[in-house]
Amino acid sequence: MTQETATRYPLVMVPGMLGFVRLVLYPYWFGIVKRLRQGGAKVFPVMVSPVNSTEVRGEQLLLLIEQILRETGAAKVNLIGHSQGALTGRYAAAKRPDLVASVTSVAGPNHGSELADHLERHYAKDSLKGRAVDMIVRVIAKLMVLLETGYRGPRLPVDLDASHQSLTTQGVALFNRSYPQGLPDTWGGQGAELVNGVRYYSWSGILQPGRTDRGFNRIDGSSRSCRLFARSFTREVGQCDGMVGRFSSHLGTVIGDDYPLDHFDIVNQSLGLVGKGADPVRLFVEHAARLKAAGL
C-alpha cells in the first residue's frame, strides 16, 4: 500500500443536502473513499441530517468529530464537505477550531445558491408548486432513510424549510456574519488560508459545453438536471455547476474553480459517470497529498 494520501489527521467526509453514507451498496463518495484508503488515509464518511439547517447539521457533525477522535486517538480531523457539507464543516470549525485541522469546501455554496433563490421566488412553500416540491423532497428523504446502510445512529431530524433557507443567498449571508472564517474580502477573490489554526481550501467546477455534456454524462440524468438548473442563474450565468456559482464557491485558498465538472460529477456521481476527460477522484487524491505535505 502506498502512503500518498496518509494524512496526519483523519479525513472526515461531510455530504450535502439529501446526502448519505451508503444506500444499500452505493456510496455517496463513489470511488473516492476507497481510493483515499488505498493511499493510506484514514477516512470517515459521516451522516448528518440530510435535510436541515446548517447549524443543526453542524452540531451533529461536532458530536461525530468527538467520536472519531476518541476512536482514533487523533487530536484533530480534516473536514471535506460537498455542497451544504462545506457550510456544515465551516460551522464545526468555527465552533471548535481546536478539533479541526482543515476545512475543504467542494462545490460549497459559500455565498449562497442562485438555484435556492430561484426556488424561493417561484416555488413558495405556501403555493401549490411549493407544496409539491416539499412532498417530493420528503418522500426522497424517507426513502433514503429506508435504504441507508452506512449509518446506524439515532434518527436524524428533518426540516425542509430550514434547509432551504440555509442555502439561499440571504440565508448564507446571515450565516457568514457569524462564521466568516476563510471567506474572501472581495467577490471572486481568495480568503485567508489560516484562521484560528484551521486551514481553509476550496475547489469547484462549471458546466462546459462540449465537455461536461459529453462522455458518460450523455447518459447521466443528474448531469441533465444540472444543465436544467443552470438556467435559473443570473449573476453567475454560464459560470456555475448547475447548483453553485463559480465565485460563490470560493473559500480560503482556491485550488480551482473552473474544473469541467457539474455539481454531482465533482463527487464522482452518478456511478462514476462523468463528463469527457473528467477525473474527480484525482482531485481528492491530490488534495490528500496536499494536506499531508502541510503536516495535516
CA distance 263 to 245: 10
* 83 tagged catalytic: yes
Classify residue 102 by burial, with Cβ atoms within 10 Å: 0-12, 13-18, 19+: buried
Q: How many other CB atoms are there within 10 angstroms of residue 153's CB atom?
A: 12
Element (H, E) at 200: strand 198-205
Q: Which of 49, 53, 83, 105 is catalytic?
A: 83
Q: Which three cell numbers stand for residue 97?
A: 477550531
Contact assessment for residue 2 and residue 285, using Cβ atoms and an 8 Å cutoff:
no
Classify residue 216 by burial, with Cβ atoms within 10 Å: 0-12, 13-18, 19+: middle
CA distance 20 to 43: 15
CA distance 79 to 65: 9
CA distance 132 to 126: 10
* 122 tagged catalytic: no
Q: Which of 263, 265, 270, 287 is catalytic?
A: 263
* 287 tagged catalytic: no
Q: Which three cell numbers stand for residue 51?
A: 435535510
Backbone angles phi, psi at 100, to 5 degrees: -120, 125
Contact assessment for residue 206 and residue 265, using Cβ atoms and an 8 Å cutoff:
no
Q: Which of 117, 241, 257, 265 is catalytic?
A: 241
Active site positions, annotated: 83, 241, 263
